[in-house]
Structure 1
Amino acid sequence: MFQSFDATSSPAQGPARLAHLRALLAADGLAGFLVPRADAHQGEYVAERDGRLQWLTGFTGSAGFAIVLPEIAGVFIDGRYRVQVKHQVDLGHFTPVPWPEVKAGEWLREHLTEGVVGFDPWLHTADEIERLETALKGSGVSLRPVENYVDRIWPDQPAPPQGRAFAHPEALAGRSSAEKRAELAEGLRAEGQRAAVITLPDSLCWLLNLRGADVPRNPVLHGFAVLHDDGRVTLFADPAKFDDELRAELGEHVTLRPPEAFVPALGTLQGPVRVDRMTAPLAVTLELQDAGIAVAAGDDPCRLPKACKTPAEIAGTREAHLRDGAAVVEFLAWLDGRAPEGGLTEIDVVKALEGYRRATNSLHDISFDTICGAGPNGAIMHYRVTEGSNRAVGQDELLLVDSGAQYLDGTTDITRTVAVGDPGGEARECYTAVLQGLIAISRVRWPKGLAGRDLDGLARYNLWLMGLDYDHGTGHGVGAFLSVHEGPQRLSRISEVPLEPGMILSNEPGYYREGAFGIRLENLIVVEEAPALGDNRAQLCFETVTFVPFDRRLILTERLAPGERAWVDAYHVEVREKIGPRVSGAVRDWLEAATAPL
């Protein structure tokens, strides 16, 4: 339900581990070592075995990396973690580096005049290493693939995960694995490619209509796969994870082999072999090249088809959100009555919310560790409450709760910021501007072919007018009973992937004031064809699938334009009509008041 700080990753352990790592590097003639928050599958969420960055530094964020040099150890974190990192690492030994503003290459050139920096080729993509090598050209610094030095000094490193694999019903997937494999194989043949290596866990789960339990909160299976140009798949995963029934369901065209057979099998492939330079570990390319096999750089063939959901997946997502919306409304009604009494802590809130979801009797798991930040903790964008950080929910402050659930028919992710007492006029002004950003994304229509970067600024406009902003993207892709963070679609300044019908994204603008409060509002949205309008140009729009009220007490109605007020009122009518029949009588009364017209 909540994370507790384990001594194996506390800030106090960092200096000794850092010293041990440096001694080992010096003995082997290396000037540095890269420590990413990544595993061989390049997923955002990693198993305990792969938590090297956390083990070494204490930093628990979902993105970032460290570069260890003889005199400095930089921990590179983006805007989401600038506050969090200060509390989680020993600042006397680890130096936070604002990334991507400061690039790894320029930082290395500044802090190292010459020497070899090692990296584990299974934990970095070809694209990542190529960019870093380009940035280091002309310097005295070079990169070298080496064994993993953190693994060498981690005496009690956990074993690889052993979660059971299980089938994902075709009725929920909307397409059989055979159909998917045949379509992608046809694409390989059209490109003159004999095979594609698939390394992303959610890609191989999508392709084979499988799910697993190898990563916390995400129903994915760890493994690698080779898709051949005739539609056959060789799956490299621990056979112990598959029972006889599942093996039979895979069918004769899917061959299951153990993970240790993957590297030898690469050397037997006929080229060209497609490898995604953005997601596959560099080691895959190196193994193929060493075997003299032609490598064709290209996108993971599963990523875009997986992102464009089938009608069955969208229908399941809608139902999952109605079920989840009812659970969240029950929770908010409880919170509204309980918080003013005092004595409530962040952990109490997290446990209560998960309890309402479990009461649906449909919860597979939560989709990520709930973010529950009271007062100043809300300004830590990806804050995870621990026994050590647990804060009482105070009076006259904001409470930010970002949470989600995994159901067999869909994945949810929702954020609501609520008032406990009177948080003051400034908090309302900021809340209203954030809400206006969410409304702008919800209402927008745009010409086909535009990407997330073309829409991201709409969510920030009213904050910009106030001289404010937020240091994260406006939205991420979301899977269908898969990863809660899914690529390649995003609402972000850096996203160049055109939005297409069927893509599910989050819509989550925010504002964070360090030491004071945090505000984020989040609904999930689905890209769809826009109804005919004007001169009937081909346009797209969003369907909102999250139905939970916003806190009317925090909305400065006079700041909203007529169209914005109309949107909120219409949305609240939908919430009342869709969720009201799914909640208990007393909660229905609360919902009536919470969704009253502005």
Structure 2
Amino acid sequence: MGPINTTNLLKQLRGLMQNLKYVPEPISAYIVPSRDAHNNEYLSECDQFRAFITGFDGSAGTAVITEKDACLWTDGRYYLQASEQMDSSWTLMKEGLPTTPTKGEWLSKSLPKGSKIGVDPKVFSYNEFNPLQTKLESSGHKLVPVITNLIELLWVDRPLRPTNPIKPHTLNYSGKSVGDKHRDIVEQMKENNSQYLVLTALDEIAWFLNLRGSDIEYNPVFFSYVIISEKSFELYLDEKQDRKLIRDHLTAEFGDGYKIKPYKSIEDRLKSLASEVEGYIWFAENSSYALINIIPKENRLLTNNTPVSLMKAVKNPVEIQGMRNCHIRDAAALCCYFSWLEKNIKTSKITEISGSEKLLEFREMQDNFVGPSFDTISSVGPHGAIIHYSPKKSTDVQITADQMYLCDSGGQYLDGTTDVTRTLHFGEATAFEKECYTRVLKGQMKLASRIFPTKIKGNCLDAFAREFLWQVGLDYGHGTSHGIGSYLNVHEGPMGISWRPYADDPGLQAGMFLSNEPGYYQDGQFGVRIEDIVQIVEAKPPHNFNDRGYLAFETVCLVPKMNKLILVEMLTDEEIRELNAYHEKCREVVGAVLEKQGQMEAREWLIRETQPLVR
């Protein structure tokens, strides 16, 4: 199936851009981001406005439509996917390349002076609106909030917003009650003279309230807002989801000093608070412009990372143990899948989709499994070069023994969230494929073995993972690492490791969990990515400069790397020792689980795949 024809949609949109019934004044450009009112990365179907207008359904990208042009900015993960999914009406703007202008630069140069550029302030974050506004104003343009979402007017069969059931996340998994979390949050609010804290990020709300939902696929969250004050909090929730089970849970963990109010009443409540507040009202900077703009800037508004952002990222002891435990069970499921795949690939027709369905079956056998943590990237040969490829019926192909197979998948468990990538070949890989695999592996191992100062920013470590690719002029177009939630979003801030600094990175700290996932992608041929989840732990080097404290990574994912893809002559003796030690741990820990589960074929596969490497 080819790209969706968007010619007529764009024609209608351009008409709406001039219609004073929907815009305060005619606009020369309209910006459609890939976010919703809560700045979610993954969206409910009803909020996929950018996908609707462009035909490109990747998780990152911004569309800009003018009278003559339609452009999409997206990063290196999606260059190939976007070019395949968009029709000829669109121009792909490759973010991350030095030759690609920013949206502000392009708009400033492309539009006649005095142009008005419209955005829906509900789906445009405060920290994006202000810099873009400044850039445009310096060029004689103006950024205009457009209250009516113009894409919504075109989307006649737009799905309804989900109102799925919400369930308590009990203390044996959360490790800390709502009351205890509230006390810690209020302490930081007092330090910042903040009278109210407004939570708009759905994973922060779910973490604070020890509740989980399913309003967004793969993300155990629910549409809501929370306003926290010194002695209470207010939860803004759809009336259909306000049930006795939730109230009983909140009363048990907090007491009765809270209120549940209608989801849509949040703006009215903020207008009321703005007129009476004596201290600051605290928002995360990435909250929507529509909400933050309600609060007077002078002596009333504080925009910064919320206390919840860091509290959630630094796991407590119960969450830490849960994350480690679920990765062991998840490794057992992956070993079962890869063993099954290797056994059947030459005698049965297994496709990208049927393979991912079989993997799901193995995960469903594991204790505490809830569902996938994202859409499985099951990709063969050229599809592996599409970094966030997800097989569909129209693209599904057979997994064969003569091409590289990249499988990036994860699970949501009651005690944690997993995200693991392995690249395999069940036949004979080319020398170049093996070289790329080995260089990616060397970079992953180098990053995994680093010792670094407490609170160093993640981007300071990025080059370690790329070193061996850079040596021969290779690279990859995505970040090296993202945070991961505890039975929450698979991508979790505010920290990460990338060539680009994370604006809100508080510095790396013990108790955080991150991915370690370098890769290489040869367009039209194959992709290599190796991804583990690592826990940040305290390190004890022989010296401690300025008593700063030092940290290290401990890999909690225990799935073998594929020895047959490794050019052993490229590894140092130390790298061989480290890899052999890792494989021995995989064999001992996961092998015991497989034996207990009666998965003897998978256990035998694990033993074969973890044989020590020798020169």
TM-score (norm 1): 0.96
Instruction: Name the aligned partner's letter for residue 296 of structure 2.
Output: Q
The reply on whether 1:47 has 2:41 as its aligned counterpart is no
1:260 CA drift (Å): 1.8
1:276 CA drift (Å): 3.4
Structure 1: state its 5+ residue gaps: none
Match for residue 485 of structure 2? 479
Given candidates 490, 513, 521, the residue that maps to 2:522 is 513
Match for residue 139 of structure 2? 139
Match for residue 597 of structure 1? 612
Shift of the 96–413 alpha-carbon distance from structure 1 to 2, 3 Å rule, reads same
The reply on whether 1:353 has 2:350 as its aligned counterpart is no
The reply on whether 1:559 has 2:570 as its aligned counterpart is yes
The reply on whether 1:108 has 2:115 as its aligned counterpart is no
Q: Match of 2:198, SS?
A: strand
C-alpha distance in 1, partners of 2:231/2:117?
Answer: 41
CA contact under 8 A between 2:376 and 2:407: conserved in structure 1?
Answer: yes
C-alpha distance in 2, partners of 1:451/1:138?
Answer: 32
1:210-221 to structure 2, matched below 5 A, reads 210-221=211-222
Q: Match of 1:76, SS?
A: strand
Instruction: Name the aligned partner's letter for residue 110 of structure 1.
Output: K
Match for residue 571 of structure 1? 582
Q: Match of 1:236, SS?
A: strand
Match for residue 4 of structure 2? 12
Give CA-to-partner distance per residue, 1:53-88, whole Å, 9 cap, x none: 111111111111101101001111101000100111
C-alpha distance in 2, partners of 1:150/1:38?
Answer: 13
Match for residue 23 of structure 2? none
Given candidates 62, 65, 85, the residue that maps to 2:59 is 62
1:360-379 to structure 2, matched below 5 A, reads 360-379=366-385
Q: Match of 1:364, SS?
A: strand
Match for residue 257 of structure 1? 261
Match for residue 289 of structure 2? 282
C-alpha distance in 2, partners of 1:32/1:86?
Answer: 22
Shifted more, 235-244 versus 462-471: the winner is 235-244
Give CA-to-partner distance per residue, 1:394-418, whole Å, 9 cap, x none: 3321000000000000000000000
CA contact under 8 A between 1:44 and 1:62: conserved in structure 2?
Answer: yes
1:242 CA drift (Å): 3.4
Shift of the 336–231 alpha-carbon distance from structure 1 to 2, 3 Å rule, reads farther
1:137 CA drift (Å): 2.8
Instruction: Name the aligned partner's letter for residue 198 of structure 1.
Output: L
CA contact under 8 A between 2:285 and 2:303: conserved in structure 1?
Answer: no
Match for residue 464 of structure 1? 470
The reply on whether 1:78 has 2:75 as its aligned counterpart is yes
C-alpha distance in 1, partners of 2:472/2:345?
Answer: 31
CA contact under 8 A between 1:340 and 1:421: conserved in structure 2?
Answer: no
C-alpha distance in 2, partners of 1:293/1:376?
Answer: 55
1:562 CA drift (Å): 1.0
C-alpha distance in 2, partners of 1:534/1:594?
Answer: 38
1:293 CA drift (Å): 7.9
C-alpha distance in 1, partners of 2:212/2:280?
Answer: 26
Instruction: Name the aligned partner's letter for residue 88 of structure 1.
Output: Q
Give CA-to-partner distance per residue, 1:477-496, whole Å, 9 cap, x none: 00000000000010112134
Instruction: Name the aligned partner's letter for residue 537 of structure 2.
Output: E
Match for residue 602 of structure 2? 587
CA contact under 8 A between 1:507 and 1:525: conserved in structure 2?
Answer: yes
Instruction: Name the aligned partner's letter for residue 31 of structure 1.
Output: S
C-alpha distance in 1, partners of 2:162/2:514?
Answer: 29
Q: Match of 1:267, SS?
A: helix
CA contact under 8 A between 2:13 and 2:150: conserved in structure 1?
Answer: yes
Given candidates 519, 531, 534, the residue that maps to 2:540 is 531
Shifted more, 372-381 versus 140-149: the winner is 140-149
Shift of the 17–488 alpha-carbon distance from structure 1 to 2, 3 Å rule, reads same
Instruction: Name the aligned partner's letter for residue 111 of structure 1.
Output: S
Q: Match of 1:118, SS?
A: strand
1:75-474 to structure 2, matched below 5 A, reads 75-90=72-87, 92-101=88-97, 102-114=101-113, 115-146=115-146, 147-228=148-229, 230-251=230-251, 252-269=256-273, 270-276=277-283, 278-289=285-296, 294-341=300-347, 343-474=349-480
CA contact under 8 A between 1:572 and 1:596: conserved in structure 2?
Answer: yes
Give CA-to-partner distance per residue, 1:102-139, whole Å, 9 cap, x none: 31101112221232111111111111011111222332
Shift of the 535–87 alpha-carbon distance from structure 1 to 2, 3 Å rule, reads closer
Instruction: Name the aligned partner's letter for residue 32 of structure 1.
Output: A
The reply on whether 1:491 has 2:483 as its aligned counterpart is no
1:422 CA drift (Å): 1.1
Structure 2: state its 5+ residue gaps: 21-25
1:208 CA drift (Å): 0.9
CA contact under 8 A between 1:452 and 1:497: conserved in structure 2?
Answer: no
Give CA-to-partner distance per residue, 1:183-223, whole Å, 9 cap, x none: 11121112111101110000011111111111000101111
1:497 CA drift (Å): 3.2
Given candidates 23, 34, 53, the residue that maps to 2:15 is 23
Q: Match of 1:26, SS?
A: coil
CA contact under 8 A between 2:421 and 2:532: conserved in structure 1?
Answer: yes
CA contact under 8 A between 1:195 and 1:271: conserved in structure 2?
Answer: no
Shifted more, 405-414 versus 172-181: the winner is 172-181
1:140 CA drift (Å): 3.3
Q: Match of 2:592, SS?
A: helix
Q: Match of 2:235, SS?
A: strand
1:451 CA drift (Å): 1.3
Q: Match of 1:460, SS?
A: helix
CA contact under 8 A between 2:202 and 2:221: conserved in structure 1?
Answer: yes
1:535 CA drift (Å): 5.8
C-alpha distance in 2, partners of 1:255/1:510?
Answer: 48
Shift of the 581–277 alpha-carbon distance from structure 1 to 2, 3 Å rule, reads closer
C-alpha distance in 2, partners of 1:195/1:268?
Answer: 12
Shifted more, 566-575 versus 236-245: the winner is 236-245
C-alpha distance in 1, partners of 2:332/2:513?
Answer: 20
C-alpha distance in 1, partners of 2:415/2:40?
Answer: 22
Q: Match of 2:272, SS?
A: coil
Instruction: Name the aligned partner's letter for residue 71 of structure 1.
Output: K
Instruction: Name the aligned partner's letter for residue 213 of structure 2.
Output: G
Instruction: Name the aligned partner's letter for residue 82 of structure 2.
Output: V
Instruction: Name the aligned partner's letter for residue 37 of structure 1.
Output: S
Shift of the 549–449 alpha-carbon distance from structure 1 to 2, 3 Å rule, reads same
CA contact under 8 A between 1:49 and 1:157: conserved in structure 2?
Answer: yes
C-alpha distance in 2, partners of 1:271/1:418?
Answer: 60
CA contact under 8 A between 1:211 and 1:220: conserved in structure 2?
Answer: yes
Shifted more, 317-326 versus 530-539: the winner is 530-539
C-alpha distance in 1, partners of 2:218/2:580?
Answer: 34
Aligned residues: 587
1:342 CA drift (Å): 5.7
Give CA-to-partner distance per residue, 1:273-323, whole Å, 9 cap, x none: 334353200111222239x88212222221011100001001001110111
TM-score (norm 2): 0.93
CA contact under 8 A between 1:580 and 1:591: conserved in structure 2?
Answer: yes
1:271 CA drift (Å): 4.2
C-alpha distance in 2, partners of 1:16/1:273?
Answer: 47
Q: Match of 2:342, SS?
A: helix
